[in-house]
Structure 1
Amino acid sequence: MSSSTPGASPPSASRRLPMHWLGVVPFAVFVLLFLIMPTMKIVLGAFQTPEGGFTLDNIAGLFTPSILGAYWISIKISVASALLGCAIGFAVAAAVVLGGLPGWIRSPLLTFSGVASNFAGVPLAFAFLATLGPAGMITIFLDTQLGINLRMLGFNILSFWGLTLTYLFFQIPLMILIITPALDGLKKEWKEAASILGATDAQYWRLVAFPILLPSLLGTFALLFANAFGAVATAYALTGSSLNIVPIVLFAQIRGDVLGNAYLGYAIAFGMIVITSIANAIYIWLRARSERWIK
């Protein structure tokens, strides 16, 4: 005679892993191996000596003039590319969503933006060198056909503005992808109500639409800043050692020659993680606020 309670589930059922969790396992393993463990290695290495002891010397090394200067240049490039990316991307998205352009333009634009926002690294650097470099296609065309010498005008693809222009190739599409749903969330009833109350288009945007979109705009700016600040391969492939930015300084420390200091490199990478984490946290917080407004 069984003593189990009628209707009770077998003991083994409570210990069985639900099948729907199996789909998350590969993602969890990937994040553990290629995000969490490398990040922890960097964080621990930033506070270690070569012998394995604890030290703050690596962190103190971040405050040397050369490294502080590299951080400052990287921050300025990230701010410039984020501002321009937000402004141009918002204008493009607004023209498609609210500007009355033909509906067939939207799908190709978003498809291209999805591809271009992930196009970076050596291929992107090569594309801009082949186009706007010293022997680039457009550079030679302007010089030979129109008599315009970009170098004489002060433009150099291996400079601050050259790298900022290169970053815009993936910053603008990323802005378009993120801000388009926010623009879609602007209800027509809001503009109609503002018009009935006598508001002009400028007043509607200043008093209604812009305050609603502001959290999305600020959050996207923070995301674009983090995106540019963490771009390593594009910066190194394009400028090499001609521009003293954080990714270049980091590579110089970890490449393994006698002049490098791997543990100072860990500290530099740790500083980059802190800055990008703050920017991403701001983006997540502001995006949550904007979603509550749109709903």
Structure 2
Amino acid sequence: MSSAPRGKWLAALCLLPFAVFFFAFQIAPLLWVAVNSLHGADGWSLENFSKIFASKFYLQAIKHSLQVAFWSSIFGLLIAVLGSYSLHQVDSRLRDFVSAFTTMTSNFAGVPLAFAFIILLGFNGAFTLLLKQLGWIEDFNIYSKTGLILIYTYFQIPLGVLLLYPAFDALREDWRESAALLGAGPWQFWRHIGLPVLTPALLGTFVILLANALGAYATVYALTTGNFNIMPIRIAALVAGDIVLNPSMASALAILLVGLMALITMVHQWLLRRSYHVTR
């Protein structure tokens, strides 16, 4: 046997543990959830999905999940773009410090994050009382949808910065200088050069932030003790049996969540192909 086929077999053998791990912890659970979602009271049917789309309660959970995920991803992306661009303009020591701090804060989520926001912005939080005394706010509810968007945006920003910061390395300084020599202003540079180059990274980061927000569970549960109606809370409640035990309905909700992410990913790929053809 020649060295080339032997190398391919060796590479395939090294890939085997990863393939087994991927199937056992990704494909197999997804298949089980998909099959279980079709199990109704009278056998195999779409009964669970019909109940979801006929229930205002579950439709509200889908609506709240999409709203919180979308707006927190938009705000997080905008702030991350400004932060990533600013990091490229500062001193290297400050840049290294901020990058390290961003890496650390990207893992600050879940129960600790919810507890921190309750202390700062709860009904009797330090910032809430201070802002009320200054007369800047009259009422603020961190446990509402607006409060959740604020918290989600907070933990979206570090992840967005980590994903977008390398993308700005693609913008070469000589491009800006050449555009300036040809009479292009900053707006023209970003419109015709900067944004087209950054578009794939921006779209990819938005999709990742959206998935991160749609699947978030610990933060919203710790903050609202499961009283805010979003899809991860409903799935967990149906599995844990807090009110009623119905794993088949939970599987149907999980499949809808996967379907939403698959749809978003397909739109993302279509936009990427379109931006590629436009910029060519």
Asked if Structure 1 and Structure 2 have the same fold, meaning a TM-score greater than 0.5 normalized by the shorter chain, the answer is: yes
- Structure 2's unaligned 5+ residue stretches are none
Which has the higher mean CA deviation after the structures are superposed, 260-269 or 117-126? Answer: 117-126
Match of 2:101 among 109, 112, 122: 112
Secondary structure in structure 2 of the residue aligned to 1:274: helix
2:50 aligned residue:
60
1:270 aligned residue:
255
Secondary structure in structure 2 of the residue aligned to 1:38: helix
2:192 aligned residue:
207
1:221 aligned residue:
206
Question: CA offsets per residue over residues 77-108 of structure 1, 9 Å max, x none?
Answer: 111100100110100111111xx311112222
Change (3 A) 1:75 1:220: same
1:147 aligned residue:
133
1:197 aligned residue:
182
Q: CA deviation at 1:121?
A: 2.0
RMSD: 3.2
Q: CA deviation at 1:289?
A: 8.4
Letter matched to residue 145 of structure 2: F
Contact 1:235/1:247 (8 A) holds in 2:
no
Match of 2:122 among 133, 141, 149: 133
2:173 aligned residue:
188
Change (3 A) 1:135 1:268: same
Question: CA offsets per residue over residues 128-149 of structure 1, 9 Å max, x none?
Answer: 2233223434335x16xx7148
Change (3 A) 1:289 1:59: same
- Structure 1's unaligned 5+ residue stretches are 1-7
Between Structure 1 and Structure 2, which shows a larger proportion of helix residues? 2
Change (3 A) 1:199 1:91: same
Match of 1:33 among 19, 24, 27: 24
Provide the C-alpha distance between the structure 1 equivalents of 2:8 and 2:139, rounded to a whole number of angstroms: 64
Q: Where do 1:233-248 residues align within 5 Å?
A: 233-248=218-233
Q: CA deviation at 1:46?
A: 0.9
Provide the C-alpha distance between the structure 1 equivalents of 2:109 and 2:24, rounded to a whole number of angstroms: 23
The sequence identity of aligned pairs, in percent, is 37
Letter matched to residue 229 of structure 1: L
Secondary structure in structure 1 of the residue aligned to 2:66: helix
Change (3 A) 1:82 1:255: same
Answering whether residue 217 of structure 2 is matched by residue 232 of structure 1, we say yes
Letter matched to residue 74 of structure 1: S
Change (3 A) 1:14 1:195: closer
Contact 1:158/1:242 (8 A) holds in 2:
no
Provide the C-alpha distance between the structure 2 equivalents of 1:214 and 1:110, rounded to a whole number of angstroms: 22
Provide the C-alpha distance between the structure 2 equivalents of 1:49 and 1:118, rounded to a whole number of angstroms: 39
Letter matched to residue 79 of structure 2: I
1:253 aligned residue:
238
Secondary structure in structure 2 of the residue aligned to 1:153: coil
Contact 2:220/2:226 (8 A) holds in 1:
no
Which has the higher mean CA deviation after the structures are superposed, 260-269 or 234-243? Answer: 234-243
Provide the C-alpha distance between the structure 2 equivalents of 1:174 and 1:288, rounded to a whole number of angstroms: 25
Max radius of gyration: which structure? 1
Normalised by the size of structure 2, how large is the TM-score?
Answer: 0.86
Contact 1:121/1:232 (8 A) holds in 2:
yes
